[in-house]
Amino acid sequence: MLLKEDGKDITKQQFEEIISPRLDKNNRYVEEILMPDYIAFYIATAYYDSSEWENSYRVYINSACTIFNCEIKNFNRLKSKVKELLKTRYSLLIIEETPILKVEEL
């Protein structure tokens, strides 16, 4: 059920007990599900379309993340998930991350 508007600001307790856990859950979903999927697509299309200049893996991830306008809480987990998606969904294997991202087709 949705909360009913009563015209008053929420209390600190309401925020901590109701709103904050929901926001945390939404942020986890964005970082764990949406971001890896989008970033893998972003890198794969750049690779297969030859439409992006060479850069490091970190720069590609940060560039793709700007669309989400949120803080990345666990960058290493995000990198790992993107690598796995590139491999399983796009048949791309990251062979070097820095200084320049190097990818090869499987």
Summarize pLDDT for 1-24 with one digit per residue, the tens.
777 788 888 889 988 998 899 999
Has residue 33 been placed in a domain?
A: yes
Summarize pLDDT for 40-64 with one digit per residue, the tens.
999 999 999 999 888 999 999 999 9
pLDDT band at 33 (very low <50, low <70, confident <90, very high): very high
How many domains does the chain contain in total? 1
Has residue 99 been placed in a domain?
A: yes
- DSSP-derived 3-state class of residue 37: helix
Has residue 73 been placed in a domain?
A: yes
Q: What pTM value is reported for the model? A: 0.84
Has residue 1 been placed in a domain?
A: no
Has residue 8 been placed in a domain?
A: no
pLDDT band at 77 (very low <50, low <70, confident <90, very high): very high
Has residue 55 been placed in a domain?
A: yes
Contact of 64 with 56, CB cutoff 8 Å:
no
Range of the domain at 61: 13-105
Bridge partners of 94, per DSSP, are 103
Contact of 101 with 54, CB cutoff 8 Å:
yes
